[in-house]
Copies of this chain bind each other. A is one copy, B any other.
Amino acid sequence: MTRTQPSPRVKVGLLQMASCPQPRDNLEKVREGIGRAAEQGVQILCLQELFRSQYFCQAEDEAFFDLAESIPGPTTESLSALARRHGMAMVVPLFERRAAGVYHNTAVVLDADGTLLGSYRKMHIPDDPLYYEKFYFTPGDRGYPTFETRYGSIGVLVCWDQWYPEAARLIALGGAQILFYPTAIGWHPSEKQQDGAAQQEAWKTMQRSHAIANGIFVASVNRVGFECPPGGEGLDFWGASFVCDPFGGVLAEASGEEELVVAECDWGRIEEVRRQWPFLRDRRIDSYAPIVNRLLDCPPTS
């Protein structure tokens, strides 16, 4: 049997950058990167998490709330014009000011005509040394939406979300063909030598597993460069942005330097892989309800 329908191929781009101290410089850098992506024919471009600034969550400082902006707002207006000009859909991660005291780590989706299709608000918020995100970000309250762009149905999750199979599953059940992970993950300098390779490998393995379990493309974009606030230890962001296919095969992968990663995604592969490995057919949906528990730790005597 062969496929009877043409298989749309979509060019996906990931803009992996080092961040400048000034937000205006990062916007300028992204606008320039979008130009390069357009030259390469990119149709869906994903920017890195919180791309307008350095990763300020290394410290808890309420002054950083000044970095937040409304959605729609200045960044979405600027990039929406470029989306329309280039006919390029975009995932635009922003520090969102929703209301006084309610800020989110958000990713906006712009369609290729510049329309703001909606946004995803990061659901899983980390809080670990140098990643003090629970101070800044109110957990998302709108679940796991998918967005119908001109080039295909996409889902977005953000960084820490990538460790949660439930989130990827819900995105896939919603019909996404590709799942983007804007990310900011790096090494603590003191851990890099001993644990760095294992951390990066776990990060990649986890995201490739979401592609496999769900039969969808996964694309993750991480920042690069060493960022160190005054008096801090700093974080060494490892880049390594990548796109993988619905069986976890890596289509394109960045180094630890600034790079525009481009990969062609053949949506027909989703149909092929899911016919050969029909995991979604056999899900035991009658048995998963207890997954909404924190733990299943009833006393053994009960």
Contact = CB atoms under 8 A, between A and B. Distances in A.
A153 to B, nearest CB: 10
A282 B209 contact: no
As for how many copies of this chain the complex holds, the number is 2
A125 interface: yes
Interface string A271-302: 00000111110111111111111111100100
Interface residues of A, number: 54
Interface of A: 123-126, 128, 139, 143-144, 148, 160, 163-167, 169-170, 173-175, 198, 201-202, 205-206, 208-209, 212-213, 247-249, 276-280, 282-297, 300
Contacts of A276: 128
A212 B248 contact: no
A210 to B, nearest CB: 8
B279 A285 contact: no
A145 to B, nearest CB: 10
10 contacts: A124-B284, A144-B287, A160-B282, A166-B288, A167-B284, A202-B247, A206-B209, A206-B212, A285-B293, A289-B289
